[in-house]
Structure 1
Amino acid sequence: MRSVPYRPEIDGLRAVAVLGVLAYHAAGIVPGGFAGVDVFFVISGYVITSVIAAELSRGEFTIARFYERRIRRIAPALLATIFVTTIGAAIFLLPADLISFGKSAVAATLMVSNIGFWLKAGYFDAAMQSKPLLHTWSLGIEEQFYLFYPLLLAWLWRRRPRAVAPVLAGLFVVSLAAGIVATDALPSAAFYLAPFRLWELLLGGLIALRPVRRLEGAGAAAVGALMIAAAFTFYGGATAFPGVAALLPTLGAALVINGASKGGLVARLLSAPPLTFVGKISYSLYLVHWPLIVFIEYRQGAELGPWQAAGVAALSILLAALSWRLVEQPFRRPERFGSRRALYSAGAAGAAVCCLAGGVLVVTHGLPSRLPEPVLAAYSAHGDRWNEERCFIDTDGSGGPTPAEIRAGKICTFGPADRTTADFLIWGDSHAHAIAPGILAAAKRFGARGYFVGAGSCPPLREFDTVGVRPSTERRCAETNAAVLDFLRTHKVGAVFMVARWTKYAQGNEYGREGMMFDPAKVPGAVPGEDAKLAAAMDETLSQIVAGGEKPVVVMAVPEPGYDVPYSVAKALLQRTPPDAIAPTLEAVAARQARARDILTEETEKDGGLFVDPTAALCGPVVCPVEQDGQLLYSDADHITIGAALAISYIFDDAFRQIMKGSR
């Protein structure tokens, strides 16, 4: 017997949520479809709270029964998905990605994958297209919420019944406020961690406990449906999410749930058999669709085409229906593993198998013996980065010195230890971090001593706002760069190497959708006004450096392949296709660099600085190769490897001759 009446429109709302997610992931035709996950959270909070409240009111609720239902509902399809996806990962993924997958398989099995993905989030993190279990972060949030929620609700119901709604409302407000603040200050934490998301589940719970009578009816449901549609339509990759933006789809879902309880047009539409069927299989559909997309895109190195997206959607629905029928349904029946002990034993055994499989992938270092040696050598360039991470401030604020430490001169120092004075400072974004080994190698030849300060997505400019970065990153850049300029006022360094991805800042965009999904035919045009903004910021910054007695050395951005070079070359070798096909032509590089080059050379000459351009050292007369003598020159789509930086270190010799001549 059902503890709460069945509402078919809730299954219809589940269908809307999962189809939004599917359309967003497979085809990108619903730019805000990712908000479907937030609709799921509200539905989950509503349904689970309704069941718990009904059982508490009858005096039938027990924690053991609650977790038995959760295991029957969640574990079978999840464990089956993890196990089958592990087999696919062992076939398709390259070693480093397979190691990461193994860790995520263990984390997903233990319902903590959201924490694992949060810990790995950062500037140099792997692309989402290499993470087949990335979508399990939302399950982690739900299950972490349900570890404490039924206990709290049951205790309040029995001991402080009048406090149930006020306490849950208070938790809702605290979590929402924390989520809004964290979305700006700690965006990865706000996205992945339960404390910043539990308000969404509590919203559903509050609707279950205290439905708003004045908002019951077709009108409220219609408004809610329009709110969800607006989020799906107008949100996108640039939306700061969750934060305030998450209120639109979640309040919309709450209005639909609350309003459709009395029937009406929205309730009838959502109760249509096709939608209720998709709603019934929505859990399995959510589980199976993302691994399929990842494996196909990973294999072909490009986004799904329209027909592929349609095929993946159809196949996902078919597999989800089979999973629902053959995996989900049988395990929900009490006669299957009738005793709790048998159920727990079966669940523990399945979890152990998935954890063991994931662990094997980690301890074997991604099963490298599967692949030919040239493929492994190419792919290993992904880790070919300068290991001085202590010097570099990531986009999430981790690593590197604080602004106070920068001002005090407590920053990374290189060169002869017996020197008490410094000759130079390397200052810039992640491209400064990438090319620093080359600059330092040249410095060593001349006996120079210097400093390094670098921050992800932060060009070495005073008060420059980069298009597309989060407000928290903008603030971090402003604080870091202000600290560097303060440092230069109190510390004599002789010369300042200013290194950045200048092409990005001059045009206001990256080089298309870079990395695994790069398509040279889809490179967007420049954002109007960004070049003038760069010129003004460069003029002001150079003037301040020169006024302090330092010589600016502006280093041009390296050529950008756009393709994730280690991935692309490794896959080309596996598929026996020419790896040099991804090398950009010199003509394309020149066109991409033209505006930035004009600005940098003009501003540098005006202030008597030096201009160093690595393009000639990295390019031939026709193309700019991505490998030389069997060694890759790039660690991703635009950062050069340590080997490449060392190979072109000679281009800095003239600069150091002038720097050291002036210091004597």
Structure 2
Amino acid sequence: MPNISVAGVRADGFRADINGLRAWAVAAVVFYHFNVPGFTGGFAGVDVFFVISGFLMAGIVVGSLETGRFSLPGFYLARARRILPALIVLTCALLVLGWFLLMPREYQALGKHVRESLLFSSNLRYLAEAGYFDSASHEKWLLHTWSLSVEWQFYLVYPLVLAVLAKLLPGRRALLCAHVLALLASFILCQVLSAGKPSQAFFLLQARAWELLLGGMVFLLGSGLRLPGRVPVLVESMGIALIVAAFVLIDSSVPWPGSAALLPTLGAALVLLACREGSLWTGSSLAQWLGTRSYSIYLWHWPLVVGLVYFELEQAMLWICAGLVASLLLGHVSYAQVEVPARRWLAKRSNVRNVVWLMSCLAVVAVSAQLVRRSGFPARLPEEVSRIEAEQHNRNPRVDECLAAGASCVYGGQQVSALVIGDSHADAVVTSVAASLPVAEQGVYFRGLTGCLMVFAAQWAGEGRRDECVGLKAALAKDLDTLFPGMPIILVNRTSLYVMGELPGPGVKSPGKPLVYFSQPAATQTPEYLQEFRRNYVESVCQMARQHPLYLVRPFPEMRESVPQALGRSVLMGKKDVEVIITREEYQRRHAFIWSVQDEASQRCGVQILNPLPYLCDEQYCYGSRDGKSLYVDDDHLSETGNRLLVPMFARVFTSRPAPTAVPATVTVGADAR
């Protein structure tokens, strides 16, 4: 950053207050990710970083434009020298570590994420995959690079726009007006997306740009400002208070970055505006040490967090402390042995050689990551691990075709003898239903959609409107009476999830929060909510049972983790005879309410119950694996191996009642699924 004639700025342009502010930001993020009590809003440290980056970039670009020394290639090269060396080393280290620790599918995902991180598009990748606060986030070793991608995308656009504006409308006033207009547009978009599409608000530059632009505005407003007397102290203290409030009062249930993001961003802006050298808040030796190493600490801490989850140590206080210490040590080593030497070495070379060296290193790692993404190199692992890994893919082969809005499929023969309706849990067992048919010519008609609870009045409370589910339920409500009348319906849903919410686990944003509602969204399972659900569930079931014999399937056991991954990791760690299980008591606690609702539907409408527990559980435990073989493709969906255990259960549908007159299918019939 160029020299600025403001109190608190050294002759070489270095600002200790900014360095100390970085310390606050990185400490909050690290404490939050390691689940240190009192930092429920520590993720807001990234927002502080954004404001700082915007301030510094404005200083670099505007200062260079005003002196006539601005070079766009030089700007990009300076950013690359600052960011790439440490990032390249981190990604190389993870690719090497993953070679020994990760199963093929996990290793492929790492390769994909390394590639996207190096191309600074990881924010878009993670947006497409899942949200930042979702449980799957703790399986992504480079999730934290989303913020680097947002900043780099800003770096690509910001200097170009300022250079054009400086030519067309010279003077800082025009630049300030442009900042204000762009900030307001981005802020409004951020609020809209936070309300309806929070993942987009979190990951997209368009919704985050206002935070960086706020930093730019502070530079334009305050670079020549001298605050009198004790005013800087008051301004800085107010800024620190806002930042601390964000860190300790906010949590991941707050829509982010919504209006609450004003707390840390305005706080950072005030600290920058105060521009206090030697401040008690930012000038201590500890703050300066953390600040200079903040980038490397940020890079290395998240893989350590994921590592604790990977080895199931995220709740062990001793290991959490070890992770915190390791974050500091690795951050220091990266700073001292990578950041500083690389910056000094590259500074002595010409710009052309800088580009050649950086792009060569980048290309080597990116190509390696792409090879990992394509292959996963299963041959590097013991054969037993590859066999376990394959179970993750042992799902319904027609899932992409049939588990979709508007799709209707027939499994088995052409004569429809039963209907299977539901969500992805129905898809996971439809081939088992087909395998239970007594005659080869008989088939099963299937309609289903992921995340779609077959209760007609239920509305989705999560992100997105789930219009496809609404359309599917409306079509079924309209056509079910005339759709293969007299044929039995087997209704399969992960019903407890919609009522009881997600199970607690790493990265789960709101465990226990209901995912559907009727009159209004509910934060917990209040008696009123449960009664409303009970009434609507029974009404829907009775409606389905008017022209069809109806069978309700009890909820399947849900494991605490992905079964194939848990088994594979156990083998890699040398553990033998490991089985993935939950207790019957855990199962009953989770599903007791749904059992009672299904029992009421059975009493009122005469529907029958199919119970999978005798086939998946014994008196003490429910099994995700048996004899080291996974029965699930993840933590709750049965694999094609697991669902075959339920063939005797589904066979009861056809043996406990007179054989119906089969109805010819009117949809395209697939290959025999039995």
Q: Same fold (TM over 0.5)?
A: yes
Is 1:31 paired with 2:17? no
Provide the C-alpha distance between the structure 1 equivalents of 2:32 and 2:342, rounded to a whole number of angstroms: 31
1:249 to 244, 256, 264: 264
| Contact persistence 2:122–2:146 (CA under 8 A) | yes
Counterpart of 1:503 in structure 2: which amino acid?
S
Contact conserved, 2:551 with 2:609, CA < 8 A, in 1?
A: yes
Give the Cα–Cα distance (whole angstroms) in 1 for the partners of residues 297 and 412 of structure 2.
60
| Residue in structure 1 matched with residue 569 of structure 2 by the alignment | 571
Mapped to 1, the partners of 2:463 and 2:598 lie a distance apart of 26
Alpha-carbon offset, residue 637 of structure 1 = 1.8
Cα distance in 2 for partners of 1:651, 1:341 equals 70
Report the secondary structure of 1:472's partner residue.
Answer: coil
Following the alignment from structure 2 to structure 1, what is the Cα–Cα distance between the partners of residues 54 and 272?
11
2:442 maps to 1:447: yes
Three-state SS of the structure 1 residue aligned to 2:442 is coil
| CA shift digits 1:584-623 (9 cap, x unpaired) | 2334434433332122112232112121111111123433
Correspondence list, 1:264-343, <5 A: 267-298=279-310, 300-333=311-344, 336-343=347-354
Deviation (angstroms), 1:480 = 5.0
Deviation at 1:152, TM superposition (A): 0.6
Corresponding residue for residue 595 of structure 1? 593
For the pair 1:13 / 2:13, whether they are aligned, the reply is no
Q: Which residue of 2 aligns with 1:68?
A: 77
Instruction: Work out whether residues 32 and 232 of structure 1, in 8 Å CA contact, stay in contact via their aligned partners in 2.
Output: yes
Residue of structure 1 aligned with 2:494, choices 501, 511, 521: 501
Letter of the 2:156 partner, please give it: L
Query: Following the alignment from structure 1 to structure 2, what is the Cα–Cα distance between the partners of residues 227 and 659?
Result: 71
Cα distance in 2 for partners of 1:13, 1:329 equals: 20
Unmatched segments (≥5 aa) in structure 2 = 5-12, 512-523, 664-674
Out of 316-325 and 275-284, give the one that drifted further.
316-325
Q: What are the within-5 Å matches in structure 2 for residues 146-161 of structure 1?
A: 146-161=155-170
Alignment partner of 1:142 is 2:142: no
Give the 3 Å change call, closer, same or farther, for CA 174–551 of structure 1 in structure 2.
farther
1:323-352 deviations in whole A, cap 9, x for unaligned? 222222233348734310111111012112
TM-fit CA distance, 1:37: 1.3
Preserved CA contact (<8 Å) 1:330 1:336: no
Q: SS of the counterpart of 1:302?
A: coil
Residues 616 and 645 of structure 2 are in contact (CA less than 8 Å); yes or no, is this contact kept in structure 1?
no
Shift, 1:455, TM fit: 2.5
Q: Which of 73, 89, 93 is the aligned partner of 1:80?
A: 89
Q: Is the 8 A contact 2:557 2:622 kept in 1?
A: yes
- Which residue identity does 2:533 align to in structure 1? L
Give the CA deviation at 1:210. 3.0
In structure 2, do the counterparts of structure 1 residues 418 and 312 end up closer, same or farther at CA, with 3 Å as the change threshold?
A: closer
Do the aligned residues in 2 keep the contact of 1:569 with 1:579 (CA within 8 Å)? no
Question: What's the counterpart of residue 522 of structure 1?
Answer: none
Instruction: Tell me the distance in 2 between the aligned counterparts of 1:412 and 1:183.
Output: 35
From 234, 241, 244, the equivalent of 1:229 is: 244
Counterparts of residues 436-475 of structure 1 (less than 5 Å): 436-442=430-436, 445=439, 447-456=442-451, 458-464=452-458, 470-472=462-464
User: How far apart in 2 are the matches of 1:56 and 1:343?
Assistant: 23
Q: Is the 8 A contact 1:423 1:448 kept in 2?
A: yes
Question: Following TM superposition, by how much is the alpha carbon of 1:663 offset from its aligned partner in structure 2, in angstroms?
Answer: 6.7
Alpha-carbon distance, 1:95 to partner: 1.4
Render the CA deviation track for 1:345-396: whole Å, top value 9, x for unaligned: 1101211221133133234x22222221112212222223224344577xxx
More moved, 441-450 vs 47-56: 441-450
Per-residue CA deviation, residues 445-495 of structure 1 (Å, 9 max, x unaligned), is: 472442312222x322233367xx524257775565445434537756554
Task: Return the letter of the residue paired with 1:246.
Answer: A
Contact 2:137 2:507 survives alignment (8 Å): no
Tell me if structure 2 keeps the 8 A contact 1:460–1:500: yes
Letter in 2 for 1:312: G
**Which moves more between the two structures, 627-636 or 554-563?**
627-636
2: distance between equivalents of 1:175 and 1:443? 58
Q: Once the two structures are superposed, what CA deviation does each residue of 1:90-130 show, in whole Å capped at 9, x if it has no partner? A: 2221211111111211221222222222333389x993333
SS of corresponding position for 1:321: helix
1:412 aligns with 2:408: yes
Question: In the alignment, which residue of structure 1 is the partner of 2:536?
Answer: 537
Task: Kindly state the Cα deviation for residue 66 of structure 1 after the two structures are TM-superposed.
Answer: 0.9
Deviation at 1:314, TM superposition (A): 1.6
Partner of 1:168: 179
Match of 1:513 among 505, 508, 518: 505
The reply on whether 1:178 has 2:192 as its aligned counterpart is no
Q: CA separation in 2, counterparts of 1:414 and 1:61?
A: 66
Are the structure 2 counterparts of residues 223 and 386 from structure 1 closer, same or farther at C-alpha, using a change threshold of 3 Å? farther
Give the counterpart of 1:57 among 55, 66, 77: 66
Please say if residues 135 and 506 of structure 2, whose CA atoms lie closer than 8 Å, have aligned partners that are also in contact.
no
**Does structure 2 retain, via aligned residues, the 8 Å contact 1:284–1:324?**
yes
Distance 1:662 1:609 in 2: 20
> 2:444 & 2:56 partners in 1: Cα distance?
64
Question: How far 1:21 moved relative to its partner?
Answer: 1.0
**CA–CA distance in 1 between the matches of 2:538 and 2:249?**
37
**Aligned amino acid, residue 118 of structure 2:** T
Which has the higher mean CA deviation after the structures are superposed, 18-27 or 220-229?
Answer: 220-229
TM-score (normalizing by structure 1): 0.86
Query: 1:405 matched to which residue of 2?
Result: none
Provide the C-alpha distance between the structure 1 equivalents of 2:204 and 2:459, rounded to a whole number of angstroms: 28
Q: 1:604 to 1:256 in 2, by over 3 A?
A: farther
The Cα of 1:77 is off from its aligned counterpart by 1.2
Candidates 631, 650, 656, aligned match of 1:633: 631
Q: CA shift at 1:67, angstroms?
A: 1.5
Alpha-carbon distance between aligned partners in 1 of 2:210 and 2:341, rounded to the nearest angstrom: 33
Q: Contact 2:579–2:624 at 8 Å: present in 1 too?
A: no
Q: Whole-Å Cα distance in 2 between the matches of residues 551 and 119 of structure 1?
A: 40
| Matching of residue 370 in structure 1 with residue 362 in structure 2 | no
Q: How many residues align?
A: 630
Question: Which protein has the bigger helix share?
Answer: 1
CA distance in 2, matches of 1:439, 1:122: 34
Task: Look up the equivalent residue of 1:380 and give its one-letter code.
Answer: A
Matching of residue 382 in structure 1 with residue 374 in structure 2:
no
Q: 1:383 to 1:3 in 2, by over 3 A?
A: farther
Indicate the SS of the match to 1:455: coil
CA deviation digits over 1:128-170, x for unaligned, max 9?
Answer: 3332212111111111111111011111022123542333333
CA distance in 1, matches of 2:256, 2:86: 28
Matches of 2:357 and 2:36, distance apart in 1: 39
Match of 1:118 among 120, 127, 151: 127
Q: Is the 8 A contact 1:73 1:332 kept in 2?
A: yes
Question: What is the aligned-residue RMSD (CA, Å)?
Answer: 3.3
